[in-house]
Structure 1
Amino acid sequence: MLRLTNLTLPLHHADEALLSAIFKRLRVTPRDVVRYQVVRRGNDARDKANIQLVYTVDVTLRNEAPVLARFRKDRDVQKTPDTHYRHVGTAPAGAPRPVVIGAGPCGLFAGLILAQMGFRPIILDRGKVVRERTKDTWGLWRRRVLNPESNVQFGEGGAGTFSDGKLYSRIKDPRHLDRKVLTEFVKAGAPPEILTEAHPHIGTFRLVTMVESMRATIEALGGEYRFEKRVVGVDIGTDGAGVRRMQGLHLHTGEYLEASHVVLAIGHSARDTFRMLHDAGVFVEAKPFSIGVRIEHPQSWIDRARFGANAGHPVLGAAEYHISHHCSNGRTVYSFCMCPGGTVVAATSEEGGVATNGMSQYSRNERNANSGFVVAIDPERDFPGDPLAGLDLQRHWERRAFVAGGSNYHAPAQRLGDFMARRPSTTLGSVVPSYKPGVTPTALDECLPDFVVEAMREAIPVFGRQIPDYDHPDVVMTGVETRTSSPVRFTRGDDFQSLNTAGLYPAGEGAGYAGGILSAAVDGIKVAEAVARSMIGAA
């Protein structure tokens, strides 16, 4: 089978045009082609008047050798890579059960891979099952009632459940582990289109049912979930060679769980767990993250800016954007986690704080587009010396936002025109904010560092030149976006174990090794494989 990449056709092409393009590109006749399959479809909208669809296609030929020889120097015609996933081994008889802390995308796939290899993992999560967690999350959004243990950040499915459900990343993996992730998602009920779209996404409602389906699969394979079990202590011993090793976990219920192999997939907001591990001597270092706001535009503006007269075409869907600017103060401002046709959501996990995030459903048909509009934070420059100081920085500005919003979980918001004019907003304009439970017009300068505000004010007119109406005065900015990524990294070695604690496997976004659903899931697979190799080798 051959893989043909960068095959371009006009947006409005006929169905049969793709097959004709394959014949022309490979210089073959219809009788030479046995079958073909679309692997990926994206678009090139740089010329809005002449948008092109860009295909990757796998083609089975009756005799591929002469065709492959003809194109041996053409990188767009190659043998189709083997994307079939193969497990690294099988659990030996009597192997101890590994423990996975966290049931987000990383923990979910670590648990799934371990279960598929027969290790019968125990999966702990401080939050609730996804359906109950969803009710608690709506409790904050609708009634301003926060459950600190069951919310956007904590519970089955992790923070990715209440997001746009993006399933793409910049990771380059020669083993195609991302394909394993997408395939398992489709088995669990995701639309098959995620296997072919260049920028696949799922959306919150579908993610809920998929998470439930994958839990059922893990349990059928011998895995075990234990919800509402928060880890409050780690039991670390020393072996005969003086090496620190995991021995067990203390839970907030008073239970003790023996555990020699622990996957640490706790997510980017488990601040109390970060501190507990640091106090226990587990190696941790500060890591960059970003702070800013959520910025909202009518989706129709973004569609028109990106696609011109083709805005609204069903193949193109809701338009996205990715922009960045390097400022004169040495800071970088950029868009983060852009959610087409979505809503801004309350994402705090601590009482007395306000944090925002973005969410979309699969349809992406809500009125507004929203994106993080954030500024990079550098540990050495902004909070040197203490590896956990980033937690305090996040918390400080979340609490300031809570007060600025009215101390009732409303979020502070400001018209972009008022922000640029350095005056507080007293009312909002034509762009209606989507944040629930509500917003309070005010000045965002009160709840962001000065250097962040300065950088944002410099970047806005630059972005306005790139995207028409990006800098429209009625655009709404809602604060604060602080949970862009983990502010710490639990550094690990080549064997995926903590640098100074054998048997502890830091993984995913909370440990500083991923950013988003797909990369976190892939990291979960890699860590599960490392656990399996260790346990098989010790048998």
Structure 2
Amino acid sequence: MIRIQQMKLKPGHAAEALEEKAAKVLRLLPEQIASCHVVKQSIDARKKPEIWFSYVVDVTLKSGSEEKVIRRCRDTSVSRVTPAPYRFPEPGMEKGTHRPLIIGMGPAGLFCGYMLAKAGYRPILLERGKDVQSRRKDVETFWAGGPCLPDSNVQFGEGGAGTFSDGKLNTLIKDKEGRGGEVLRILVEHGAPSCILYENKPHIGTDILSEVVKNMREQILAWGGEVHFNARVEQLLVESGRVTGVTCTGGREFLSETVVLAVGHSARDTFEMLERKNIPMEAKAFAVGLRVEHPQSLINYSQYASEWPEFLPPASYKLTARTGEDRGVYSFCMCPGGYVVNASSEEGRLAVNGMSYSRRDGRNANSAIIVAVTPEDFETFSGDYRGPLAGIAFQRGLEEKAWGLGKGRIPVQRYGEFAGKPEGSKVQRVPSDFLPCIKGQYTFADLRFLFPETIRKAFIEGMESFDRMIPGFADDAVCLSGVESRTSSPVRMHRQEDFQSQVTGLYPCGEGAGYAGGITSAAIDGMKVAEAIAKRFKI
């Protein structure tokens, strides 16, 4: 197979133009090409307003020598490739007495269960929340002013926290084994659009992702797996340094010598139980900040240098900065045409997240602008406690202050007021009557005293730096909302090279365990754990 890199075409091109351009690059006639498969498509706007689609394509010939064609091209963008499809390992030799238990049905647990079920291990999946359809009803009721249910909310339930997000699927993980491609292929097989297989920044959107999650669950059941909802794990059973099972809500007991902990980054009560059980884990650095909203038209203009052309998607951005005190500030979970959502999971505490539907057709863009924090920062709310859950105490302290500032609603403030800027201090690109797009009730409030001053100053310094990259980013009327405190797990559970904890048979997995960040990386980690279990046990 011949691969062509950086093959550029104008947006809006005809479908046949791809094959015609490939033939031209390879100095062939179009009829000599058997197939032309898009591996990657990205937008090249470096010389805006001139914009291109840049492709990586794989070409197969009807006949003739690929080597001869490549030599004749004398083009460094042309090479020969041999695709290496993903392969699940052969089963090991150890005999297991019980079926594997998987705790949590976010991306890590779902993909771990899917791979094991497909291989014939008939796993049992335990999810503390509800199925995705029931969960969606609970979340929408909460956003309309109803109660926050502790086990059925934006954080907990089938699909995990990623279900109510932008559904971004890009990852920075190096993926020589092809797990990332397999994740995308499985998602497409269960209802995701095929374009995620080649888009440079693939996303699904919360509406489609919900259906995909349901379809994957039904496939696990068809392969002989079990799924139990409303099954919050209350105790981990351990004997002589080996896991033997778990007990769940209502006293239900599930026995197994193989337990996968894919609990997600917000399972604070589970982390507390694991600390009492002396499961090895530690506090880790993460980041906190505020959701920042701009008109989507402003972001489109900054990235495309013109009003949003019909053939281009709503523009996104990725921004990073270092402050004068060497603290990292960066954008996180950017949602073009999206919404800020109330992502709370505990009474009296308030957290926000960003979400987009598949069309990304909301009027605002939002992202979290977050500041890196380390265990040294956690003393603000953890006092003398220095244990593995110090980051959770820090999160809870911020969320309690946010809840109080908004009196239970999402607190919102204009950036100019938050930064203490004199009125009319700069040219404005965001109109003074600009309003947020929020799922959940909100109110304008004073966010200036939400964070320790070192973090607030770093946030402002980052915003002003980003304004030099995207003019208007730090305009006075830009809307801030908070608190964004669940960017990643504040805990890392220790695990060894075979993916087991020091407790034999216990497999910490995914974002909650501190080994992933986002849907795709969590799914990949779930696959790795499934592979480790398969290498150990017979079917």
> TM class by shorter-chain length?
over 0.9
Superposition pairs of residues 51-90 of structure 1, within 5 angstroms: 51-61=51-61, 62-63=63-64, 64-69=66-71, 74=76, 76-82=78-84, 84-90=85-91
Measure, in 1, the Cα distance between the counterparts of 2:412 and 2:342.
13
> What is the CA distance between 1:445 and its match in structure 2?
1.9
The number of equivalent residue pairs is 524
8 Å contact 2:92–2:535 — kept in the other structure? Answer: no
**2:280 corresponds to which letter in structure 1?**
F
Verify the 8 A CA contact 2:378 2:393 in the aligned structure 1. no
CA–CA distance in structure 1, aligned partners of residues 113 and 236 of structure 2:
20
Q: 1:147 to 1:330 in 2, by over 3 A?
A: same
Q: 1:223 aligns with which of 222, 225, 229?
A: 225
Alignment of 1:280-291 (within 5 A): 280-291=277-288
Aligned counterpart, 1:371: 367
Please say if residues 513 and 523 of structure 1, whose CA atoms lie closer than 8 Å, have aligned partners that are also in contact: yes
User: Helix, strand or coil: the match of 2:250?
Assistant: coil
Distance 2:148 2:479 in 1: 25
Shift of 1:356: 0.2
Q: Distance in 1 between matches of 2:133 and 2:31?
A: 52
Deviations 1:467-523 (A, max 9, x none): 12111211100010000000001121110111x111011111000111111111111
1:128-139 aligned at under 5 Å gives the runs 128-139=130-141
**Structure 1 runs (4+) greater than 6 angstroms displaced:** 91-94
1:206 matched to 2:208: yes
DSSP-derived class of the 2:150 partner: coil
- Which of 343, 346, 358 lines up with 2:342 in the alignment? 346
Is the 8 Å Cα contact of residues 118 and 221 (structure 1) preserved in structure 2? yes
Q: CA deviation at 1:381?
A: 5.1
Q: Helix, strand or coil: the match of 1:350?
A: coil
Question: Superposition pairs for residues 75-474 of structure 1, below 5 Å?
Answer: 76-82=78-84, 84-90=85-91, 96-238=98-240, 244-309=241-306, 311-380=307-376, 382-383=378-379, 385-406=386-407, 409-421=408-420, 429-474=432-477
Distance 1:533 1:14 in 2: 47
Determine helix, strand or coil for the equivalent of 1:250: strand
Contact 1:416 1:472 in 2 (8 A): yes
Q: Is contact 2:6-2:77 (8 Å) kept?
A: no
Mapped to 2, the partners of 1:52 and 1:449 lie a distance apart of: 44
- How far off its partner does 1:429 sit? 4.0
Task: Tell me the equivalent position of 2:503.
Answer: 501
Partners of 2:275 and 2:25 in 1: CA distance = 58
Question: Pairwise CA RMSD of aligned residues?
Answer: 2.0
Distance between the aligned counterparts of 1:94 and 1:492, measured in 2?
A: 21
> Is 1:290–1:485's contact at 8 Å kept on the other side of the alignment?
yes
Distance in 2 (CA, whole Å) between partners of 1:150 and 1:396 is 22
Kindly state the Cα deviation for residue 332 of structure 1 after the two structures are TM-superposed: 1.0
CA distance in 1, matches of 2:101, 2:78: 44
* CA drift at 1:45: 1.1
Q: Deviations over 1:377-430 (max 9, x none)?
A: 112454583211000000000000000002xx2111110111122699xxx942
Query: How far does residue 70 in structure 1 lie from its aligned partner after superposition?
Result: 5.4
Q: 1:438 Cα shift?
A: 2.4
The one-letter amino acid paired with 1:302 is: I
Instruction: Determine the C-alpha separation between the residues in 1 that align with 2:283 and 2:86.
Output: 34
Distance 2:296 2:303 in 1: 11
Which stretch of structure 1 is more off in the superposition, 187-196 or 432-441?
432-441
Q: 1:30 & 1:292 partners in 2: Cα distance?
A: 53
Letter in 1 for 2:475: H
The separation in 2 between residues aligned to 1:218 and 1:91, in whole angstroms, is 21
Task: Please state how far the C-alpha of 1:80 moved relative to its aligned partner.
Answer: 4.0
1:257 offset after TM fit, Å?
1.3
Separation in 2 of the partners of 1:510 and 1:423? 42
Q: Supply the distance in 2 between the matched residues of 1:193 and 1:322 (Cα, whole angstroms).
A: 22
The alignment partner of 2:418 has SS state of helix
- TM-score scaled to structure 1, two decimals? 0.93
Name the SS of the counterpart of 1:46 in structure 2: strand
Whether the 8 Å CA contact 1:6–1:76 is kept in 2: the answer is no
Q: State the distance in 1 between where 2:192 and 2:239 align.
A: 43
C-alpha offsets along residues 186-244 of structure 1, whole Å, 9 cap, x if unaligned? 11111111112111111111111111111110000000001101111111112xxxxx1
Q: Is the 8 A contact 1:342 1:368 kept in 2?
A: yes
Residues 91 and 536 in structure 2, CA contact (< 8 A), matched pair in contact too = no
Task: Work out whether residues 98 and 255 of structure 2, in 8 Å CA contact, stay in contact via their aligned partners in 1.
Answer: no
Q: 2 CA distance for matches of 1:266 and 1:72?
A: 52
SS in 1 for 2:438: coil
For residues 185 and 477 of structure 1, the distance between their equivalents in structure 2, rounded to whole angstroms, comes to: 33
**Deviation (angstroms), 1:329:** 2.0
Residue 9 (1) aligns with residue 12 (2): no
Q: Distance in 2 between matches of 1:533 and 1:50?
A: 52
Compared CA separation, residues 446 and 530, structure 1 to 2 (3 A): same
Q: Which secondary structure state, in structure 2, belongs to the residue aligned with residue 132 of structure 1?
A: helix
- Could you tell me how far apart the structure 2 residues matched to 1:180 and 1:490 are? 26
Aligned in 2, Cα 1:73/1:318: closer, same or farther, shift over 3 Å?
closer
202-211 or 389-398: bigger deviation: 202-211
**Structure 1 equivalent of residue 45 of structure 2:** 45
Question: Which residue of the other structure, out of 521, 532, 539, is the alignment partner of 2:523?
Answer: 521
Structure 2 residues without counterparts, runs of 5 or longer: 380-384, 424-430
Deviation of 1:87 after TM superposition, in Å, equals: 2.0
Distance 1:56 1:123, change over 3 A: same
Structure 1 alignment gaps of length 5 or more: 239-243
Distance 1:230 1:72, change over 3 A: farther
Question: Is 1:204–1:362's contact at 8 Å kept on the other side of the alignment?
Answer: yes
The one-letter amino acid of 2:254's match is L
* Aligned counterparts of 1:495 and 1:90: Cα–Cα separation in 2: 15
3-state SS in 1 of match to 2:46: coil
Question: How far 1:26 sits from its partner (Å)?
Answer: 2.2
Q: Give how far 1:73 is off.
A: 8.9
2: CA distance between counterparts of 1:28 and 1:336? 44
Measure how far apart 1:25 and its partner are.
2.1
**SS class of match (1:404):** helix
Q: What is the alpha-carbon distance in structure 2 between the residues aligned to residue 320 and residue 483 of structure 1? A: 21
Which residue pairs with 1:241 in the alignment? none
What one-letter code is carried by the residue in structure 2 that aligns with 1:484? T
Aligned to 1:35: 35
